[in-house]
């Protein structure tokens, strides 16, 4: 019970602190509005861009933003006021009429088609090995691999085949070659793609290195290039 009371007390104090911070923010915003008004009033009256001495320090950093940013935004926005379609209280409706130049418009069908071409679910067969901290390498399973689009990255999806006793379900993040996450080793009859644990979305902490073995060296080279460059 004492613990609950302590938690309630802490929660109450935190709520009071947040309210105080909110009040301070409101006060600061009002003060900035006042200073901005004085600055532009002085500019109109004196024909100068320098604010009064009392405000000079305040506007040293803000001036560039206050002067340029609103005008820059205004050039890209237009509003239409249709009084005939106003609400019951007489307030006019308006809408943001931002227009994207045709040259920058993306054809959704074209984008989808290109993604389908890139991620055409080519399936690659191989086997996976884990290396531990002692440097011992152990074969884990036969695998089937495909490239897929993740939330933010392209991933190389690695899954064990149905005839394997050990389940493997790994997602290798592509595009990390500059961080030294991958390596390709070419042997006489096969090639091995090596990947560090940090290149996977999740993996057992006991694994120190993942080795993907492919008997077709041309396929292995193609996979490695796509993993590295995506």
Q: For the chain, how many helices (H) and strands (E)?
A: 4, 9
d(CA 76, CA 95): 13
User: In terms of pLDDT, which residue wins out, 73 or 30?
Assistant: 30
User: In terms of pLDDT, which residue wins out, 111 or 132?
Assistant: 132
The share of the chain scoring above pLDDT 70, in percent, equals 61
Residue 227 makes CB contacts below 8 A (sequence gap 6+) with 156, 172, 174, 175, 177, 182, 193
Average pLDDT over residues 21-33: 74
d(CA 122, CA 157): 11
Using pLDDT thresholds of 50, 70 and 90, give the confidence band for residue 162.
confident
| Residue 133 token pair | 């901290």
User: In terms of pLDDT, which residue wins out, 209 or 113?
Assistant: 209
On the question of pLDDT at 16 being above 50, the answer is: yes
| pLDDT, position 91 | 39
| pLDDT, position 107 | 54
Average pLDDT over residues 64-69: 43
Residue whose structure tokens are 């600055």: 39
Using pLDDT thresholds of 50, 70 and 90, give the confidence band for residue 147.
very high
pTM recorded for the entire structure = 0.49
Using pLDDT thresholds of 50, 70 and 90, give the confidence band for residue 41.
low
| Residue 155 token pair | 């991933």
| Residue 56 token pair | 């000079």
Q: Report phi then psi at 187, rounded to 5.
A: -105, -175
Contact 183, 172 (CB under 8 A): no
| pLDDT, position 163 | 73
Over the stretch 76-95, which tens digit does the pLDDT of each residue have?
433 334 444 444 444 333 33
Using pLDDT thresholds of 50, 70 and 90, give the confidence band for residue 178.
confident
d(CA 148, CA 145): 10
* Pick from 164, 125, 167: nearest CA to 146: 125
Q: Which residues in 91-123 are b (16+ Cβ under 10 Å) and which e?
A: eeeeeeeeeeeeeeeeeeeeeeeeeeeeeeeee
Using pLDDT thresholds of 50, 70 and 90, give the confidence band for residue 177.
confident
């Amino acid at each position: 019970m004492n613990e609950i009371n302590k938690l309630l007390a802490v929660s109450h104090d935190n709520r009071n602190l947040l309210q105080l911070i909110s009040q301070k923010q409101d006060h600061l915003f009002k003060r900035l509005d006042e200073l901005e008004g004085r600055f532009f009033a002085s500019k109109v009256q004196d024909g100068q861009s320098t604010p009064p001495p009392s405000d000079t320090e305040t506007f040293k950093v803000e001036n560039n933003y206050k002067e340029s940013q609103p005008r820059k935004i205004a050039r890209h926005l237009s509003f239409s006021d249709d009084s005939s379609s106003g609400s019951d209280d007489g307030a006019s409706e308006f809408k943001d009429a931002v227009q994207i130049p045709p040259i920058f418009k993306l054809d959704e069908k074209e984008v989808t088609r290109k993604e389908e071409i890139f991620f055409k679910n080519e399936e690659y067969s191989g086997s996976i090995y884990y290396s531990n901290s002692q440097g011992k390498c152990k074969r884990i399973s036969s695998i089937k691999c495909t490239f897929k689009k993740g939330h933010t990255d392209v991933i190389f999806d690695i899954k064990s085949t149905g005839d394997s006793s050990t389940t493997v379900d790994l997602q290798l993040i592509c595009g990390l070659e500059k961080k030294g996450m991958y390596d390709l080793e070419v042997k006489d009859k096969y090639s091995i793609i090596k990947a560090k644990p940090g290149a996977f979305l999740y993996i057992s902490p006991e694994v120190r290195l993942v080795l993907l073995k492919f008997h077709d060296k041309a396929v292995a080279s193609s996979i490695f290039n796509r993993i590295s460059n995506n």
